[in-house]
Amino acid sequence: MLTREDCLQADLQDPLAPLKQRFELPDGVIYLDGNSLGVMPKSARVRSAEVIEQEWGVGLIRSWNTADWFALPARLGNKLGRLIGANEDEVVITDTTSLNLFKALAAALRIQQQARPQRRVIVSERDNFPTDLYMIQGMIDFLQQGYELRLIDDETPLEAALDEDVAVLLLSHVNYRTGAMYDMASVTALAHQYGALTIWDLAHAAGAVPVDLNAAQADFAVGCTYKYLNGGPGSPAFIWVPPRHQDRFWQPLSGWWGHQRPFDMAVAYEPANGIRRFLCGTQPIVSMSLIECGLDVALEADMEAVRTKSLALTDLFIELVETRCKDHPLTLITPRDHDQRGSHASFRHPEGFAVMQALIARGVIGDYREPEVLRFGITPLYLGYADVWDAVDTLKDILDTRSWDKPEFKQRTSVT
Amino acid sequence: MLTREDCLQADLQDPLAPLKQRFELPDGVIYLDGNSLGVMPKSARVRSAEVIEQEWGVGLIRSWNTADWFALPARLGNKLGRLIGANEDEVVITDTTSLNLFKALAAALRIQQQARPQRRVIVSERDNFPTDLYMIQGMIDFLQQGYELRLIDDETPLEAALDEDVAVLLLSHVNYRTGAMYDMASVTALAHQYGALTIWDLAHAAGAVPVDLNAAQADFAVGCTYKYLNGGPGSPAFIWVPPRHQDRFWQPLSGWWGHQRPFDMAVAYEPANGIRRFLCGTQPIVSMSLIECGLDVALEADMEAVRTKSLALTDLFIELVETRCKDHPLTLITPRDHDQRGSHASFRHPEGFAVMQALIARGVIGDYREPEVLRFGITPLYLGYADVWDAVDTLKDILDTRSWDKPEFKQRTSVT
């Protein structure tokens, strides 16, 4: 596929192409950052007016019952669960990914404390998204029970990090920077061989790649709704806990929403049976409600078709960059092997930051990640083949003309 | 003030009356539940369209910088701080009240661990809002360091509960059920005499009564934005930490938003200087943004004028109920003394639940709290004297005609 005309032809034959109409896409933008903040489903406009003007403005407190706000975390959790191989009543949408990691880690450590009480090592990855590492460090420091964090990296592969001291293995299914993807089933099986429990961070996986948590026999999972699921900026996150672990421990963020009968106003905490005990406090209903708009579009698409298109678009993107921009110092850091890749492609470039600012100024929005990494998210629900052509065309022009080499593109004010 | 005409006259002379126009109030409703979910500021309609359609829909990822989403927790926190006696950079809006309690309690316990390491008692109140008690219980269970919860109640007054074993005193400034209010300064001083640190839950105080955290020399405070501050359903909560405590400990919910340089993507957690270390993960931007609408109206009103009107309306409400409904078994459980009362009034009635459902069916919306309590929130920004008259008039009619005595009003389906 080497011409723009070829790409247009591919778009015409794309079974997912009609879904693009379900999203609001600003004029003049090719959006390759749906893995940081997904775009707005058109239905969010109507839904937000309903929630804000009707449910809040008119329904007021009555909407906890009449608009069923109370059920939102579980109801939307069940919808989301269908995208990640979860059964009913295994997922709630609530709080943030960081906080859900804390709950999952607390539960996993407590289960191990009962089953394998001498274990004090939590394994994660040096290149994991920082908040995963920070939440582990916060818990270790807080518990003061001799836990330690062991990081896998180039020198210490996973196999070398696992041993009889490991209580928990906490990994991101798809790496936020490189796009590298683990085989969840085999890694989980390996961890279980060593007696470790697994926690999977699905931030860059849910809605992006096929995930089957139950088939993989994973132990816990958390993730984000505002990336590939298009839930809106900072929309609440999710946590998955299978029934075999749900009732074994009440996680320490035990607010009233996790109580078995929250409106009894009882003095003693009594954890709800099942997944509801992973709830804590009152959720931001407006942001929470809008998640449903994105979930509904995602559920219309066949996940295997999404994966097929994601791989095709990513292959195309890599091929076009490597052929059309071959005179420039771009180095692919994303695995080429389909089985080891999520849904984004990342290249290093010595002036990566400035190149990305120049791209954004031209309407090709990806993002920059330390160090030197240009990251391009591939979102099959609203990206087409010609979009990929045009994005690379703009990148080639910026590199050929060195138009990134301007002071305004080198100023580090960006925060995301 | 004994006639409806008197009430209408009082409304005409009310300096806060014009603010009522800033809120959306549904037809046929007298809303006495603003202490559970505040009403919608009219500006929320425009603001939500901006945030959703422009900032998310068009700005997309760029809005973290261009719409300054990144600064929202601190910027709105500073606005809120002016209502509770906080200085700049002492408040952030983030997460939920329950989670902020966990952070405050973790920090307070760690400070005590260094200063007074033998202390293992956390004092709270049996009648505190349950989530406060549940978060304490969750932390005690999780830490396994021998902490215990000691509850003050009718048999154990505050003075009897404080001793040299107490690490932390955690109280609600205004009780959610009775409306009883503590004198924050004297209670804090008493706690400090015993070497205990204080955490104040301002859920029913912020925006409702004058609060001066710094004058009271409080140690930590948390609270809610969706009640008297009209932030929207489940809008994120706040936490206040004064500079003398801010940098003494990094609280264990140490996500990337609390890092000194979150976008360095460093492996090691380095807590931000100041109040930002009490942030954890990415916040729900739509729900967060709408908080500003309510804050802006609250900041227009003089807090002393709000308090004066609150007391006048509550006095009127109590007087009218006790005179006009005197033949019915209603018992005031709210303190009559102005110094000991927040901004709601509660009455017990043996059929409280059914009476409240009958009131709601007639458009007088208060709420019910176990056991047998009819709770009426008084919100001076949008309630007037004639509203109070009309509410009591409806209550009197329902009681006189026993119209609460119907099966549909006795069915316990309400969740809030």
A283 vs B: CB within 8 A: yes
Taking the CA of residue B263 and the nearest CA in chain A, the distance in Å comes to: 7
Residues linked to residue A346 through DSSP beta bridges, in sequence order = A375
Q: Is the pLDDT of residue B258 over 50?
A: yes
B22, B375, B376, B409: which one is catalytic? B375
List all residues 6 or more positions away from B9 whose beta carbon is below 8 Å from its beta carbon.
none
**Active-site residue, B341 included:** no
Contact of B276 with B60, CB cutoff 8 Å? no
* pLDDT recorded at residue B413: 63
Distance in angstroms (rounded) separating the CA atoms of residues A259 and A273: 9
Distance in angstroms (rounded) separating the CA atoms of residues B66 and A358: 16
**Percentage, residues of chain B above pLDDT 70:** 99
* pLDDT recorded at residue B1: 55
A263 vs B: CB within 8 A: yes
Q: Which parts of chain A have pLDDT scores under 70?
A: 1, 413-416
Nearest of A81, A180, A90, A170 to residue A131 by alpha carbon: A170
Q: What is the mean pLDDT of chain B?
A: 96
pLDDT in tens, B275-293: 999 999 999 999 999 999 9
B280/A96 touch (CB, cutoff 8 Å), yes or no? yes
A70/B415 touch (CB, cutoff 8 Å), yes or no? yes
Q: Is the pLDDT of residue B316 over 90?
A: yes
pLDDT in tens, A332-369: 999 999 999 999 999 999 999 999 999 999 999 999 99
**Percentage, residues of chain B above pLDDT 90:** 96
From chain B, pick out residues whose CB is under 8 angstroms from the CB of A135: 253-255
Residues 128-147 of A with CB under 8 A from B: 129-131, 133-135, 137-139, 141-145
B135/A254 touch (CB, cutoff 8 Å), yes or no? yes
pLDDT in tens, B331-351: 999 999 999 999 999 999 999
Long-range residue pairs from B336-340, CB within 8 A, at least 24 positions apart, any chain: B338/B311, B339/B181, B339/B183, B340/B180, B340/B181
**Active-site residue, B248 included:** no
Cβ-Cβ pairs closer than 8 A, A with B, add up to: 311
Choice among A261-270, B86-95, B157-166 with the minimum mean pLDDT: A261-270
Q: Is the pLDDT of residue B87 over 50?
A: yes
Residue of A201, A239, A265 to mutate, testing the B interface (most B Cβ within 10 Å of its Cβ): A265
Contact of B150 with B119, CB cutoff 8 Å? no
B114 vs A: CB within 8 A: no
Taking the CA of residue B1 and the nearest CA in chain A, the distance in Å comes to: 30
Per DSSP, B195 falls in state T
B69: left (phi over 0), alpha (psi -120 to 50) or beta: alpha
More confident residue, B44 or B250: B44
pLDDT in tens, A103-136: 999 999 999 999 999 999 999 999 999 999 999 9
* pLDDT recorded at residue A416: 47
Distance in angstroms (rounded) separating the CA atoms of residues A403 and A249: 57
A60/B250 touch (CB, cutoff 8 Å), yes or no? no
A281/B232 touch (CB, cutoff 8 Å), yes or no? no
* pLDDT recorded at residue A249: 81
Confidence category of residue B415, pLDDT binned at 50, 70, 90: low
From chain B, pick out residues whose CB is under 8 angstroms from the CB of A52: 40, 44-45, 48, 232, 290
Distance in angstroms (rounded) separating the CA atoms of residues A388 and A406: 25
B14, B33, B95, B201: which one is catalytic? B201
From chain A, pick out residues whose CB is under 8 angstroms from the CB of B144: 145
* pLDDT recorded at residue B416: 46
* pLDDT recorded at residue A1: 55
